[in-house]
Structure 1
Amino acid sequence: MTQVKAPMAGTVFEVSVKEGDTVTVGQTLIILESMKMEIPCEAEVAGTVKKILVAEGDFIDEEAVLLELE
């Protein structure tokens, strides 16, 4: 299992995948908004989205786990 973590604190702007989706390396999974910038969180490995731990509008801290891939 691989955890996708937030690179910085911010607000979840968009969740681009749903549980059960198959993703490829480099695919945008979640977009964060911080300091008026949009920061894409991309898959570092290919796999299947096992669990999404955040929702659009949530404020998250740096290094918070956003979702899990397997």
Structure 2
Amino acid sequence: MAETVIRSEIAGKVWKIEVPAGGRVAADEPILILESMKMEIPVNAPLDGTVTEILVAEGDTVAEDQILARLG
């Protein structure tokens, strides 16, 4: 399976990591939750897979289009 890169669609802060590295996810399941302008925005897996790497930590500020995680 090819690696899939998960990017932030918005600038914001990492509020919560839902699935740690090594965890399995189903398509449309949240990997992490961003907070922007007091709104919680889930970052969902585009497909079934395993989270191979989380590149951010809770509390980190992220930019739009920043790589957040990788699925394998």
Do both proteins adopt the same fold according to a TM-score greater than 0.5, normalized to the shorter chain? yes
The one-letter amino acid paired with 2:22 is G
The total of aligned residue pairs comes to: 70
Aligned residue runs from structure 1 range 28-47, under 5 A? 28-47=30-49
- Name 1:18's counterpart in structure 2: 20
Once residues 22 and 59 of structure 2 are traced to their aligned partners in structure 1, the CA distance between those partners, rounded to angstroms, is 22
Q: TM-score, normalised by structure 1?
A: 0.97
| Ranges in structure 1 where 5+ consecutive residues have no aligned partner | none
RMSD: 0.5
Deviation sequence 1:4-54 (CA, Å, 0-9, x none)? 111100000000011111110010111000011000000001110100000
Q: TM-score, normalised by structure 2?
A: 0.95
| Ranges in structure 2 where 5+ consecutive residues have no aligned partner | none
- Name 2:11's counterpart in structure 1: 9
Following superposition, which runs of at least 4 residues in structure 1 exceed 6 angstroms of deviation?
none
Equivalent position to 2:60, from 30, 35, 58:
58
